[in-house]
């Protein structure tokens, strides 16, 4: 593989690696922000004032309908993925099992290995091609991207229909291809895309506008629905509706509101219910609603879930062990290489699995209470099966369940140890691949394996149920990697279907987070940092009271007059060296009187809303909110708008379109205060004024995201101009 | 009883009744607001800037320690209440049972009735005396008061130590006295008081200052801890740590933040764990952590918790039935009458119970799997017991559990029907009493009773497990009364210890809320309205875009100059006709340059920080943040501060003490925008300025709480000057 890497790529790899090691000290300008504060201009206020009490009630009902639809579609997608994966993986394992059984006696097991590797690589190839060539943003779990979206950062193409299609296809391929990945993380992304699509009542990719839900075509409303979609995704993936709501809240912390929370909750409910219902039909027991999520941890019997006080310190130790968070993987940029790497990993996964099954002689009697669907006899005596095969010859979900529930004595400690190591390295390698894949299940599986091992070793000293320790280990590992606490606790409790383990799981997750944060950030945060996204945490760094708005703000600021020359507007917007997205509108002596966005100016230019032309032959219709909504969210670039020399001399009256009451702060405001205002209201631009109300600067997301806490106090990142 | 009511009281009763019927159209001025926005004056900024990175870390650790303490103490209190109630109620039932058994054959059962009534009344008397004479604010569950506190309204004396003591004593008495009340609601209030006390490191009631945690002596920090305390209370009451966190979040919606949430979660965890641990010792099985809350719904076996699709509509119907929310009770104002009313209700409760037990002839065989501790044979055959007695001769928690878990056939439908009615009327009457008591358990009990009845009737048509319907009925009834959805779902799921019922419980609670809100507000909201508290909901009324800051604000505003004459300040503060708590500080031509609070001015006056005196013989020490913290939260009234005629002529320099960067809005800002800013930042005063930055008005909580949505659009409440 090394021969094919160009020098540029080597440089790029080293560059990325360097970034990874020393963390990122730059913020990119490519990422635009979302406007989570409504632009309350005259058009908007007029529309709101026209609306009756009944009108608002209808809107509210429409919001509930949309949330219901989001939940339904997300559940349906989850169901589709589940069935497709189960069918494809089933065929694969069936074929390989037959082949192995055939060749165990004949003695040509290498043929079985090749069959397995080829099948794996073939599945993975399709998935990797789709991701690498069609929509690279569909790679990975998509959770960091959704976190960014809810935080207010616009990641290009992340909520498009095309992304969804590729994501679903990709995840089916990679899971069926036997990679060390899960299908849960991608569900969260899928739910978010569904939400963004449904709530807008149109698909820009398909060029289809249903002319419904036009009121919701703005960032604020879209974000609310996307958080409902993400929650629905979690809910479908883990059968955890409350966990889903908490996930959305943990990530989109700044906009909690009771009505919204209930809608999110409703979407989650509908999602898990839909999945449950359709799976019950698929499994031939329509109406029996007992498989609420994609992953099912199986029933933990109430009698067996007791734990004792002396076990608590053990759980905490396990939590501290859970912070293995290595994501060293090569970053390859050329699509065909990416596909080949994915196929290679798929083949290696098959080979490693095969070798481990082959060389293990850990035979277990074939009992009544086994959950395996494909017990493999291999070289074991009749009536026995190879227990190593159980771990590998299975979808990871089933393996996790086996580790939780199989009776004590099912697994040999050595088998488990080797499995943990092998699977860990496979998972680490796999994480960097260009395939749609989640990290939840591999983490759970690794954790369950070493947890069970821990339990088995412990049972030499005291009595211990290894299944319980498998669960704790899984929680510790997952917590150490994703660093969520509240939502993850609820997700795991909902997935186990039993509240009794709630307290130990909490303890374990907290320990994993505290210990983990001491060493390195969580996987998603690393991912976000690697992409140098201007992500705002919930609070300003504690030692930042030294800084005031004056030091933080960008200045000088390009301002427009209330009535501005078209030529100047076009020139400012076309200036590629300083790409601004918001412009204060000022009266004489730079007194602030409004704020207008680039997107609004673009629409105005496109419709040629010029003062001189109003009286000309074109019977100029009054611009309405609808025109802005139609252009949302893909406003054309300024280059695509032709403005003639004549028109350049015209004037534009911005009064009606600007937000006349932008939030402002005085120059002396401390950074934490600016931060609080910015974050609590989901702002994109905050105007800094002097005590005469004159514009002196503008605070944007990048100005705030620059400051963060380093090892020895406040650090400032550089703003990269890439 | 009527003879003793004075004409004034009759008037007052009618007045209250009138309020209740037509709802409240006034807002009282007695309620002050809390400052959930830090006053970032020079002193504060200097302190923050002096603090090192390490200093902030220590603060953070201290916050965690406080949360741990809050959880521990709350758990301990819960444990104490539980044991005390169990012991007292145990003695009572034991005595009455012996007496009844003795007189069943002798034929003097009226003596048993009298014994029972007297015991009940005695217990209730002690509790009612404590509440009525010592601390009336300890009446009821305290949940509406805590909701108000988290919302930002200062209810006098609500988080004092004395309140806590009376509350705990009162709830033990009223539960042991057999009233139709629960001990769960008061736990939430208790947790909040514990939090407010511990976090301040002192008790003003005991005049004891531990000189610790002084940094946390301000409203913002205190609120954060109080929300942790409320969560710990829920957690201890129901064994529902996640439910506790969600309760705090639903009520204190405006200040969610990840770190805070984790601390709240931690407090909840510690609380349930402490309770669990001490109860396990009390029950003689130390270390076996299986009774996580005060109420325990008992184990629902995994096998029996299946539900089928056709049951969903039934559940929804039950949800719609759950909105019985009658709280018509007389409001009596004289303490001794209140005590007598409480004793009367206690005696009536005993009588009604006795009569129902006496006249029912519903005998059930005494099986192995009964949960009753005091099965009463009465007139039943040997080996049988009176099933009506089970419902009444028990703490309500046990009765709920019996209704959930007793095998089909345990209860006679008629018994259940009569019980539901009787208990319902008792609960309604009891709710208005001046005793510490929660409404959760009576609601659950009533709901469980009619739910089980529903299940029994249903089982004539199809097979149905009445225990399941009892649970659904309980959820419906409780949801219809308190109108919480997300938190209540989680609380109930955590209390049942089984996630499978999550989905139906959600559906039921949602239906109960939607149907209930159509008719009347929830119990707590009615309570809050009855007290005419300026409560801010999470959003402005939808049709309020018509209004702007100009119309909403109070004006003219009393402003101070940067350097102001002491005499003027004293006069303004002493003016009782306009009690303002915040004053904009202005430079020439009324340009805003800061905001100062009444409490700050009082401290300045008390320490005589006058410009002229700085050079006089008194070596005036510089005022520090500590001086403000020492005075917090009970700032002396202006009348207690003596200012001589000489001093009146001095000047005061406010520069150092005022908040130099108050949030401001232009006059044209729409009400929803003002509301959003106010609510998101937890403000108390919002200065309205014109485009020259001159102060034109001030928006406070009352100005915003005035507007609410009525039957036909926006309504405005009157501001009462009481």
pLDDT 10s digits, B39-90? 888 888 888 888 888 888 899 899 999 999 999 999 999 999 999 998 998 8
Distance CA B229, CA B159 (A): 11
Whole-number Å distance between alpha carbons of B334 and A171: 71
Q: Are B318 and B454 in contact (CB under 8 A)?
A: yes
User: What residues of chain B lie within 8 A of the CB of A503, using their CB?
Assistant: 241, 269, 272-273, 289, 292
Q: Which residues from chain A sit within 8 angstroms of residue B592, using beta carbons? A: 691
SS3 assignment, position A364: strand
ipTM of the shown complex:
0.87
Rounded to whole angstroms, how far apart are CA atoms B349 and B360?
A: 16
Looking at residue A20, its pLDDT comes to 42
The Cα angle at residue B700 between residues B696 and B702, in degrees rounded to 5: 125
The pLDDT-based confidence of B135 (bands split at 50, 70, 90) is: confident
| CB distance A412 to A106 below 8 Å | no
Q: Which two tokens stand for residue A650?
A: 């015209």
Q: Which one is predicted more confidently, A225 or B519?
A: A225
Given this chain, do its domains B74-282 and B303-530 carry the same CATH topology? Answer: yes
Residues in chain A within 8 Å Cβ distance of B670: 40, 45, 661
d(CA A313, CA A361): 35
Residues A455 and A469 sit within 8 Å (Cβ to Cβ)? yes
Q: Which residues of A fall within a CB distance of 8 Å from B668?
A: 660-661
DSSP A646-711: HHHTSEEE-TTTSBSS--EEETT-BHHHHHHHHHHHT-SEEEEE-TT-BEEEEEEHHHHHTEEEET
DSSP 8-class letter at B4: G
Helix (H, G, I), strand (E, B) or coil at A209: strand
Answer for the pair B479, B471: CB distance below 8 angstroms, yes or no: no
Average pLDDT over residues A6-20: 47
Name the residue facing B497 among A485, A498, A712 (closest C-beta): A498
**Partner-chain contact B499 A507, CB within 8 Å:** no
Average pLDDT over residues B635-645: 87
**Chain A contact set for B496 (CB, 8 A):** 499
Q: What angle do CA A282, A287, A293 make, to 5 degrees?
A: 65
Cα dihedral: B150, B151, B154, B159 (round 10) = -20
pLDDT tens sequence across A185-198 = 899 999 999 999 99
β-bridge partners, A202: A209
Question: What is the secondary structure of B619-632 as a DSSP string?
Answer: -PPPP-HHHHHHH-
Tell me how close the Cα of A305 comes to any Cα of chain B, in angstroms. Answer: 10
pLDDT band at B719 (very low <50, low <70, confident <90, very high): low
pLDDT tens digits along B388-445: 777 677 778 888 888 888 777 777 788 788 888 888 888 888 887 888 888 888 888 8
Please, which residues 123-182 of chain A have a Cβ atom closer than 8 Å to chain B?
Answer: none
CB < 8 Å to A51, chain B = 543
User: Given CB atoms, is A305 within the 8 Å cutoff of chain B?
Assistant: no
A vs B, Cβ pairs < 8 A, gives: 209
Please check the confidence at residue A307 and state whether its pLDDT lies above 90: no
> N- to C-terminal Cα distance for chain A?
30
- What is the distance in angstroms between the Cα of B543 and the nearest Cα belonging to chain A? 6
The more confidently predicted of residues A702 and A462 is A702
Which residue of chain B comes nearest to A299, CA vs CA? B302
Helices (H), A497-540: 502-519, 523-530
A377 touches A386 (CB < 8 A): yes
One of 2.115.10.20, 3.30.70.2080, 1.10.3080.10, 1.20.1440.230 is the CATH number of A65-282, namely 1.10.3080.10
User: Model confidence over B443-484: pLDDT tens digits?
Assistant: 888 899 889 898 888 888 877 788 888 888 888 888 888 888
The nearest alpha carbon in chain A to B292 belongs to A500
B380: distance to nearest CA of chain A, Å? 36
Taking CA–CA distances from B549, the nearest residue in chain A reads A661
Contact A523, A482 (CB under 8 A): yes
Q: Is A302 in the B-facing interface, judged by CB distances under 8 Å?
A: yes
Q: Over the stretch A23-43, which tens digit does the pLDDT of each residue have?
A: 444 555 567 888 888 888 888
Nearest to A497 among B254, B499, B676 (CB): B499
Q: B302 or A225: whose pLDDT is higher?
A: A225
Give which of A244, A149, A675, A167 is closest to A484, Cα–Cα: A244
Sequence-ordered strand ranges (E) for A322-373? 363-365
CB A491 within 8 A of CB A248: no
List the CATH code of the domain at B74-282: 1.10.3080.10
Asked if residue B565 lies in contact with residue B601, where contact means CB atoms within 8 angstroms, the answer is no
Of A56, A310, A486, the CB nearest to B543: A56
* Neighboring chain B residues of A262 at a CB cutoff of 8 Å: 485-486, 510
- CA dist B131 and B150 (Å) reads 23
Closest alpha carbon within chain A to B712: A53
Measured between beta carbons, the chain B residues lying within 8 angstroms of A591 are 691
Give the pLDDT confidence score for residue A499 in this predicted structure.
67
Tell me if B508 sits within 8 A of B316, measured CB to CB. yes
Strands A718-719 and A26-27: parallel
- Check residue B619 and give its pLDDT: 47
B51 CB neighbours in chain A (<8 A) are 543
> pLDDT confidence of B499, banded at 50, 70, 90?
low
Q: Domain A544-719, what architecture?
A: Roll (3.10)
Instruction: Show the tokens assigned to A90.
Output: 């089933």
Query: For residue B633, is the peptide bond before it cis, meaning its omega torsion is within 30 degrees of 0?
Result: yes
pLDDT for A328: 47
Distance CA B697, CA B689 (A): 7
Q: Do A503 and B273 touch (CB under 8 A)?
A: yes
Sign of the Cα torsion B613, B618, B619, B625 reads negative
Tell me the average pLDDT of chain B: 81
- Contact between B691 and A593 using a beta-carbon 8 Å cutoff: yes
In this structure, what are the phi and psi dihedrals at residue A321, rounded to the nearest 5 degrees?
Answer: -75, -15
CB B476 within 8 A of CB B512: yes
32-51 in chain A: CB under 8 A from chain B: 40, 45, 48-49, 51
Q: Which residue of B has its CA nearest to A712?
A: B53
SS3 A431: helix
Tell me the shortest Cα–Cα distance from A705 to chain B, in angstroms: 17
What's residue B718's pLDDT? 65
Give the closest residue to B243 by CA, choosing from B230, B234, B256, B254: B234
Residue of A661, A662, A677, A707 for testing the chain B interface, max B β-carbons within 10 Å: A661
Contact A657, A631 (CB under 8 A): no
Alpha carbon distance A637, B400 (integer Å)? 65
Q: Tell me, what DSSP letter sits at residue B24?
A: -
**Distance, in angstroms, between B13 CA and closest chain A CA?**
35
Q: What's the CA angle centered on B444, arms B439 and B447, to 5 degrees?
A: 125
Give domain limits for chain A: 65-282, 303-530, 544-719
CATH domain B303-530 topology = Clc chloride channel (1.10.3080)
Q: pLDDT tens, A88-146? A: 988 988 888 888 888 877 777 888 889 989 999 999 999 999 998 888 888 888 888 89
Window 516-545 of A: residues touching B by CB (8 A cutoff) are 537-539, 542-543, 545
Return the bridge partners of B584, or none. Answer: B595
Tokens of B348: 């009536």
- Residue A669 to residue B676, Cβ atoms within 8 A: no
């Amino acid at each position: 593989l090394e021969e094919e890497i160009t020098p540029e790529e080597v440089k790029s790899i080293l560059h990325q690696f360097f970034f990874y090691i020393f963390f990122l000290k730059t913020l990119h300008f490519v990422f635009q922000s979302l406007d989570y504060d409504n632009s309350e201009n005259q058009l908007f206020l007029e529309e709101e004032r026209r609306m009756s009490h009944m009108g608002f009630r209808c809107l509210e009902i429409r919001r509930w309908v949309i949330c219901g639809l989001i939940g339904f579609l997300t559940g349906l997608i989850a169901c589709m993925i589940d069935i497709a994966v189960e069918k494809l993986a089933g065929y694969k394992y069936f074929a390989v099992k037959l082949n192995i059984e055939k060749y165990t006696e004949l003695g040509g097991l290498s043929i079985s290995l090749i069959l397995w590797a080829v099948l794996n690589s073939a599945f993975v190839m399709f998935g990797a091609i789709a991701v690498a060539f069609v929509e690279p943003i569909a790679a990975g779990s998509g959770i960091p991207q959704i976190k960014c979206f809810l935080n207010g950062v616009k990641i290009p193409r992340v909520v498009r229909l095309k992304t969804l299609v590729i994501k679903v296809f990709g995840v089916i391929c990679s899971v069926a291809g036997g990679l060390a990945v899960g299908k849960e993380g991608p569900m969260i992304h899928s739910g978010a895309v569904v939400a963004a699509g449904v709530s807008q009542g149109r698909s820009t990719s398909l060029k289809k506008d249903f002319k419904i839900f036009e009121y919701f075509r703005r960032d604020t409303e879209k974000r609310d629905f996307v958080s409902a979609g993400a929650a629905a995704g979690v809910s479908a993936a883990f059968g955890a509706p409350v966990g889903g709501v908490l996930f959305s809240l943990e990530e989109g912390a700044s906009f909690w509101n009771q009505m919204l929370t209930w809608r999110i909750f409703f979407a989650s409910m509908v999602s898990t219910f839909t999945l449950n219902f359709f799976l019950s039909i698929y499994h031939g027991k329509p109406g029996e609603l007992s498989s609420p999520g994609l992953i099912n941890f199986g029933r933990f019997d109430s009698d067996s879930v007791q734990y004792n006080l002396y076990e608590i310190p053990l759980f905490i130790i396990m939590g501290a062990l859970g912070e293995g968070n290595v994501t060293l993987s090569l970053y390859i940029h050329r699509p065909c290489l990416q596909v080949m790497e994915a196929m290679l990993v798929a083949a290696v996964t098959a080979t490693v699995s095969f070798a481990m099954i082959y060389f293990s002689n850990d035979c277990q009697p074939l009992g009544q209470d086994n959950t395996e669907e494909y017990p493999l006899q291999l070289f074991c005596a009749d009536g026995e099966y190879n227990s190593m095969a159980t771990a590998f010859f299975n979808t990871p979900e089933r393996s996790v369940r086996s580790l939780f529930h199989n009776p004590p004595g099912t697994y040999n400690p050595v088998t488990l140890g080797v499995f943990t190591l092998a699977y860990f390295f496979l998972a680490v390698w796999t994480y960097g691949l260009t395939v749609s894949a989640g990290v939840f299940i591999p983490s759970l599986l690794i954790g369950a394996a070493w947890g069970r091992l821990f339990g088995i070793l412990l049972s030499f000293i005291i009595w211990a149920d290894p299944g319980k320790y498998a669960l704790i280990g899984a929680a510790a590992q997952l917590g150490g990697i994703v660093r969520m606490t509240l939502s993850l606790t609820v997700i795991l409790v909902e997935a186990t279907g039993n509240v009794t383990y709630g307290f130990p799981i909490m303890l374990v997750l907290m320990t994993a987070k505290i210990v983990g944060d001491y060493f390195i950030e969580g996987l998603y945060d690393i991912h976000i940092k690697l992409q140098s996204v201007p992500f705002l945490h919930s609070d300003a760094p504690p030692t930042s009271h030294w800084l005031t708005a004056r030091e933080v703000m960008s200045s000088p600021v390009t301002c427009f007059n209330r009535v501005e020359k078209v030529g100047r507007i076009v020139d400012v917007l076309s200036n590629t060296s300083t790409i601004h997205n918001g412009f204060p509108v000022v009266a004489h002596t730079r007194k602030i009187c409004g704020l207008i966005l680039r997107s609004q100016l673009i629409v105005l230019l496109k419709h040629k809303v010029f003062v001189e032309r109003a009286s000309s032959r074109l019977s100029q219709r009054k611009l309405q909110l609808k025109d802005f909504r139609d252009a949302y969210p893909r406003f054309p670039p300024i280059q695509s708008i032709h403005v003639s020399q004549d028109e350049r001399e015209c004037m534009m009256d911005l009064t009606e379109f600007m937000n006349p009451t932008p939030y402002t702060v005085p120059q002396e405001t401390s950074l934490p205060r600016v931060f609080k205002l910015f974050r609590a209201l989901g702002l994109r631009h905050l105007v800094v004024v002097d005590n005469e109300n004159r514009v002196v600067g503008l605070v944007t997301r990048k100005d705030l995201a620059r400051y963060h806490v380093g090892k020895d106090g406040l650090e400032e990142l550089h703003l990269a101009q890439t």
